[in-house]
Amino acid sequence: MNNIPGKKAMWLDCGIHAREWISPAFCLWFVHYSLSFYRINADITHILDSMDVYVLPVLNPDGYRYTWTTNRMWRKNRSVSPASSCIGVDLNRNFDANWCTEGASPDPCTEIYCGAFPESEPEAQAVADFLRSHKDSVQLYLTIHSYSQLLLFPFSYKLEETENHRDLVGSAQKIRRYYRNVYRYGAGAKTIYLAPGGSDDWAYNLGIKYSFTFELQDRGRYGFLLPPSHISGACNEALLATKIIALKVLEKT
């Protein structure tokens, strides 16, 4: 069912922050589930029949590798900056959404360095280019982080609400009803902090009105070092959330 004209699409990226290991695990979990349960589970069958699904399992590959080889707590990519001996740009501050204002930093030595200019990083540029060229079909943008158990939506670069705020709150509430675990939800800036240059806000401003950041398990007991025994629980609940949101987008659009 690949060549239906006007077919919708969703985007899922994982691993924008290197140390958030449960995130790439979730992208793989989602792909595995999709391939295994197509024509078995009604919801995933409906989603895959109605939408193209784009999955980027590791958005920040050099950063991710570095967490395996050298520093488990690395967050940024591994870009070298000409002006400093400090390495790495925070890819979730490098998108063109009120770039490098309060909540990001122009200092390459910080964890929230925004880069030399918007989309200076090849990883951010590649995602932005792809979404720009698929913006007519992509109706849902999902980006997976950890940790804290949160469902965030725009805006994070300003305190205002989006015009579809009620609708985004509605999606988050629907997910909450299915969860045993409690997830907090809300607009990023009001729920956690101001953070400009994020991919979710940028995608929203591009016209992808359903744009969510998931912060997966846990709430801080293990933090980024979530033990393997927690992978299935964390991924299954994020999978449920993904299906609920995708079905809602299909209903609405």
Residue 213 interacts, among Zn ion, ligand 0X9, none and using kind-specific CB cut-offs from 5 to 8 Å, with ligand 0X9
| Vertex 20: Cα angle to 135 and 119 (nearest 5) | 40
Cα atoms found within 13 Å of the Cα of residue 152, Cβ hemisphere only:
28
Provide the token pair at 32.
């595995």
Q: Is 13 helix (H, G, I), strand (E, B) or coil?
A: strand
- Look up 121 and say whether it is catalytic: no
Q: Which residue has the tokens 């895959």?
A: 48
Q: Minimum CB separation from ligand 0X9 for residue 36, in Å?
A: 28
- CA-based nearest residue to 92, from 208, 200, 20: 200
20 or 123, CB closer to ligand 0X9?
A: 20
8 or 209, CB closer to ligand 0X9?
A: 209
Of the candidate spans 49-57, 165-173, 195-203, 227-235, the one that interacts with ligand 0X9 by CB under 6 A turns out to be 195-203
What does the radius of gyration of the chain's CA atoms come to, in whole angstroms? Answer: 17
34 or 211, CB closer to ligand 0X9?
A: 211
The single residue among 64, 198, 208, 211 that binds ligand 0X9, judged by CB under 6 A, is: 198
Q: Minimum CB separation from ligand 0X9 for residue 241, in Å?
A: 16
Distance CA 36, CA 225 (A): 28
The single residue among 34, 149, 156, 242 that binds ligand 0X9, judged by CB under 6 A, is: 156
For residue 240, count other CB atoms closer than 10 A to its CB: 14
Going residue by residue from 140 to 159, which x/- string records binding to Zn ion, judged by CB under 5 A?
-----x--------------
Q: How far is CA 149 from CA 32, 86, 146, 182, 218, in A?
A: 23, 31, 8, 7, 6
Q: What is the total residue count of the chain?
A: 253
Distance CA 39, CA 221 (A): 38
33 or 222, CB closer to ligand 0X9?
A: 222
Q: Which residue is nearest to ligand 0X9 (CB)?
A: 198
Going residue by residue from 16 to 45, which x/- string records binding to Zn ion, judged by CB under 5 A?
-x--x-------------------------
Residue 63 interacts, among Zn ion, ligand 0X9, none and using kind-specific CB cut-offs from 5 to 8 Å, with none
Contacts of 35 (CB under 8 A, 6+ apart): none
30 or 147, CB closer to ligand 0X9?
A: 147
Binders of ligand 0X9 among residues 118 to 147 (CB under 6 A) are 145
* DSSP string for 205-222: HHT--EEEEEEES-SSSS
Q: Which residues are catalytic?
A: 215
Binding site for ligand 0X9 (CB under 6 A): 17, 20, 92, 145, 152, 156, 188, 195, 198, 200-201, 213, 215
